[in-house]
Amino acid sequence: MSGAHISTQGLVLREVNYKESDKILTVLTAEGGRRTVKARGCRRKGSPLAASAQLLVYSDMTLFEYRDHFTLNEAESLQQFWHMKSDVVKLSLASYFAEVMEAVAVEGRPDPAALSLILNALYALDQLNKPLALVKAAYELRLMCLAGYEPLVDACAVCGVPEPEMPRFHLTEGVLHCASCRVGEGDDLPLTPGAVAAMRHIVYGNPKRLFSFQADGDSLARLGRACEQFLTTQLDRGFRTLDFYHQWGN
């Protein structure tokens, strides 16, 4: 049984050294979602695969598939996000983005929206002068929408008023409600009207303008807390890279 060559674009979400000169890569690809790919000889000096077999590098790739195993045959890097990688705080946040994406992406299932989301988030860290907390919150909440956990933030889930009084966000149910309206068991967090407006932009707005909103200090802090805790609550796990990011005071 012969194998097949696949041409695709992919972003390296994780790299693990293997044997003397190889790596095992977790790659988010355009054609097939998450893929586990062996990069043979990429750690040898002068290897043509070296640049593309690095964490958070986006490349044109030719994969060889044989019996559900993938090998990286050829690669040419398209974006390496050098500016972001020169800043340890931005790099730690980008690594968290990659770890979360690896957790929710499905092996073999194409998800171009997810690939576009993380590439846009990395570009924002690399090139846009946006608050890191804004980029982080937008990425977390939008990824949850793509992964099937879209919250309901258009009105109070109990009384239906469009602008909830003293708004709160229920982490388990993923709904907005007034402070006086009870929603099931579990934790909820207080929001500001500005944080609610930002959540609506992230959930219902044009994905191409995902990071095109503003939030003041208190609203951004509440938004960030809600988005992070919503993600960790729904996925029911923590992330080592998130802990590392928070060590830097963010």
3-state class percentages of the chain: helix first, strand second, coil last, to nearest 5 = 40, 25, 35
The domain segmentation of the chain, as residue ranges, is 4-79, 85-246
**3-state secondary structure at position 40:** coil
- With vertex at residue 135, the alpha carbon angle to CA 27 and CA 244, rounded to the nearest 5 degrees, is 65
The 10s digit of each residue's pLDDT in 53-111 is 999 999 999 999 988 899 999 999 999 999 999 999 999 999 999 999 999 999 999 99
**3-state secondary structure at position 58:** strand
Percent of the chain with pLDDT over 90: 92
Give pLDDT, residue 186. Answer: 74
Q: What is the pTM of this model?
A: 0.95
Give pLDDT, residue 2. Answer: 66
Instruction: Please give the CATH number for the structural domain made up of 4-79.
Output: 2.40.50.140
- Check pLDDT > 80 for residue 226: yes
What distance in Å separates the CA atoms of residue 115 and residue 29, rounded to the nearest whole number? 7
The 10s digit of each residue's pLDDT in 110-121 is 999 999 999 999
The 10s digit of each residue's pLDDT in 238-249 is 999 999 999 986
Give pLDDT, residue 36. Answer: 96
Mean pLDDT of the chain: 95
- With vertex at residue 85, the alpha carbon angle to CA 40 and CA 136, rounded to the nearest 5 degrees, is 110
What distance in Å separates the CA atoms of residue 244 and residue 233, rounded to the nearest whole number? 19
**Which amino acid is residue 71, in one-letter code?**
T
- Check pLDDT > 50 for residue 1: no
The 10s digit of each residue's pLDDT in 158-194 is 999 999 999 999 999 999 999 999 887 779 999 999 9
Tell the CATH superfamily of the 85-246 domain. Recombination protein O, C-terminal domain (1.20.1440.120)
Domain 85-246 in the same topology as domain 4-79: no
Give pLDDT, residue 250. Answer: 63
Percent of the chain with pLDDT over 70: 98
